[in-house]
């Protein structure tokens, strides 16, 4: 859909302009679902890949007072629910997808209304197997209703998650 984003990866403690690519995490297709008017939460999605075993252990964004990694699931009675996730494993060489209906970043207490076409910075904290942590800054596109990538459609849920804009 979009070109892979160029991400800036830097080791904590390095000076400005020094970009270490030790972990080399790449982030593709980062996007934020445009919240319905009046809502102060928005879901953010992307595909992460690390060449070495790593984990996503934290998220933040200047546009939100709080951001959390969540997993959405559907229980045996068909009720959708979600839970905070402290860390998301990024196995070496495996693309890990954050997408509607599954893992997502929830931006909470938005500090400003978002609009389609806007780019929102997301700060990802990635921990590698040797317990180094790196910040990965990625710009995510705010996508309105018609331009969102097709997400997984849950069987028995006509229209899939795209029709449920209050969820994320």
Binding site for Cu ion (CB under 5 A): 70, 82, 106
SS (H, E, C) the chain: CCCCCCCEEEECCCCCCCCCCCCCCEEEEEEEECCCCCCCCEEEEEEEECCCCEEEEEEECCCEEEEEEEEEEECCCCCEEEEECCCEEECCCCCEEECCCCEEEEEEEECCCCCCCCEEEEEEEEEECCCCEEEEEEEEEEECHHHCCCCCCCCCCCCHHHHCCCCC
Closer to Cu ion at the Cβ: 11 or 71? 71
CB of 70 to Cu ion, least distance (A): 3
Q: Cβ 106 to Cu ion, closest distance in Å? A: 4
> 44 or 126: whose CB is closer to Cu ion?
44
Nearer Cβ to Cu ion (10/161): 161
In which residue are the tokens 């700060």 written? Answer: 123
Distance in Å, CB of 84 to Cu ion, minimum? 8
Q: Which is nearer to Cu ion, 9 or 59 (CB)?
A: 59
Q: How far is the CB of 167 from Cu ion (least distance, A)?
A: 8
């Amino acid at each position: 859909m979009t070109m892979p984003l160029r991400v800036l990866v830097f080791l904590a403690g390095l000076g400005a302009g020094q970009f270490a690519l030790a972990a080399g995490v790449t982030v593709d297709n980062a996007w934020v679902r445009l919240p319905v008017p009046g809502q102060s939460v928005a879901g953010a999605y992307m595909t992460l890949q690390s060449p070495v075993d790593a984990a996503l252990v934290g998220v933040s964004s200047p546009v939100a007072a709080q951001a959390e990694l969540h997993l959405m699931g559907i229980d045996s009675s068909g009720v959708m629910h979600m839970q905070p996730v402290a860390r998301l494993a990024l196995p070496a060489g495996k693309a890990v997808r954050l997408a509607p209906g599954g893992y997502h970043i929830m931006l909470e207490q938005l500090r400003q209304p978002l609009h389609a076409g806007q780019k929102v910075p997301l700060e990802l904290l990635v921990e590698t197997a040797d317990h180094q942590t790196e910040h990965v800054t990625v710009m995510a596109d705010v996508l309105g209703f018609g331009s969102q990538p097709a997400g997984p459609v849950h069987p028995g849920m006509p229209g899939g998650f795209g029709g449920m804009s209050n969820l994320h």
